[in-house]
Amino acid sequence: MEFLTGVKEKETLDIRQIAGGDYEGKTVKINGVIHNIRDMGEVAFVILRKADGLVQCVYEEGKTRFNLKDLKEESAVEISGTVAREERAPHGFEIRMDTVRILSQPDEILPIAVNKFKMHASLEARLGMRPVSLRNVRERAKFRIQEGIVRGFRDFLHSQGFTEIHTPKIVARGAEGGSNVFRLDYFNKRAELGQSPQFYKQTMVGVFDRVFEVAPVFRAEKHNTTRHLNEYIGLDFEMGYIDGFEDIMAMETGFLQYTMELLGSEYKKELDMLEAALPDVGRIPAVRFDRAKELVAEKYNRKIKNPYDLEPEEELLIGRYFKEEYGSDFVFVTHYPSRKRPFYAMDDPMDERFTLSFDLLFKGLEVTTGGQRIHDYQEILAKMEKRHMEPKDIASYLMIFKYGMPPHGGLGIGLERLTMRLLDEQNVRETSLFPRDVNRLEP
């Protein structure tokens, strides 16, 4: 009988192992994809692309035991060779090639220059070729940083006593209501794709006090803008026993502080490659919605058209105002008008036209919506009645209030938007691996 006993050591080495170890003059094996070949005549530089970077390999005619012509870009290979110190090469070393074992060959030559540092191709062209254009080192670096943001979110919340949950995405009814839901037939029942884990994460506050979820959310919005996706990753958390919605903003600030530190220490290579500067998140200003509108109206000489809504341009100006006046890339805008928030938002007892809620703007773009929720059963029934909503439609959600819920609140962060702003990208599609928009269902 054969047995599996765990991960076996591989003969092939990583960049980290070679760069950090005592391999100079030694023969090593390394695998990767042929990124680029620069043939200089008697010598050729064969650049190998690996997950953690590029490696310069040197082909020397007569010494290297294979025919250079057999190598194609995008072939996967295993190279055996001698490590030599070379300060001008990436990671400070190169490999003098001895033999090459070809693991796979492409059928055709790439129609897009993924091996250029910057791909000079339109977003449209890059998205159409996404399965291969992501191989470009700058393109993929964005998604390493995105991984870091998600790690920061989870690790920080775990340290704060949050439990991770997984809630269904096929639901009977969405949390936000409205028309922007995808509908499907679920064994002859009408179902929807979840616009948010809102009902479920509140439910789980009754179970674990503090919960979070990282999962897709679906919005059937027909807007085809630079900041909307029809499917995106929501970083959601919800917490009980809050003294006010300020606790939610404080927790988000803590997450941002933790994450920027993590990115600075473990994702520096990718940040440098993208020339991205980490924002200062030591302190984040908070301003009331109505006050924010006044401030930008005064400073930028702008008329307030609708006192109950923020236009995208107004968000941009609020971002600009707080950058100019306080040096902050982030600003919490609090006390959104009740009519712009869902029924479960808690109204401000001091002025019921407004809610105990907030958005977080990052360089003038909303990246988070959050706030305190109603926890009292009669209060939520009363608010539903005011909005002509039918309690029996969402009876299994209302159950949690009927049988008792602590005061609580939470937020949802759009991962792609947060990544987009961090990297100063102009289109949210840049920071979604395989974006879904009104026209794009593939790749």
Q: Of the two residues 35 and 363, which places its CB atom closer to a copy of itself in the complex?
A: 35
Give the nearest distance from C-beta 6 to a copy of itself in angstroms: 5
Q: Of the two residues 87 and 188, which places its CB atom closer to a copy of itself in the complex?
A: 188
**What is 92-139 written as a DSSP string?**
GEEEEEEEEEEEE--SS--SS-TTSSS--S-HHHHHHTHHHHTTSHHH
Q: Of the two residues 117 and 403, which places its CB atom closer to a copy of itself in the complex?
A: 403
Amino acid letter, 75: S
Dist CA 316 CA 319 (whole Å): 5
Q: Is 300 in the site for a copy of itself (CB under 8 A)?
A: no
Q: Is 403 in the site for a copy of itself (CB under 8 A)?
A: yes
Q: For residues 333-372, which are near a copy of itself according to CB under 8 A?
A: none
For a copy of itself, the binding residue among 13, 172, 278, 316 (CB under 8 A) is 172
Dist CA 127 CA 130 (whole Å): 5
Q: Is 378 in the site for a copy of itself (CB under 8 A)?
A: yes
Contact between 361 and 319 under an 8 Å Cβ cutoff? The reply is: yes
Q: Is 320 in the site for a copy of itself (CB under 8 A)?
A: no
How many residues make contact with a copy of itself (CB under 8 A)? 123
Q: How much is the CA Rg of the chain, to the nearest whole Å?
A: 26
Q: Is 254 in the site for a copy of itself (CB under 8 A)?
A: yes
Q: Is 13 in the site for a copy of itself (CB under 8 A)?
A: no
Q: Is 90 in the site for a copy of itself (CB under 8 A)?
A: no
Nearest 10 degrees: CA dihedral of 370, 321, 365, 335? Answer: 20
Q: Is 283 in the site for a copy of itself (CB under 8 A)?
A: yes
N- to C-terminal Cα separation, the chain = 43
For a copy of itself, the binding residue among 19, 68, 110, 316 (CB under 8 A) is 110
Contact between 206 and 405 under an 8 Å Cβ cutoff? The reply is: yes
Q: Is 4 in the site for a copy of itself (CB under 8 A)?
A: yes
Q: Which residue in this structure is represented by tokens 């600009």?
A: 320
Q: For residues 23-62, which are near a copy of itself according to CB under 8 A?
A: 31, 33, 50-52
Find the angle CA(164)-CA(248)-CA(149) to the nearest 5 degrees: 55
Q: Is 101 in the site for a copy of itself (CB under 8 A)?
A: no
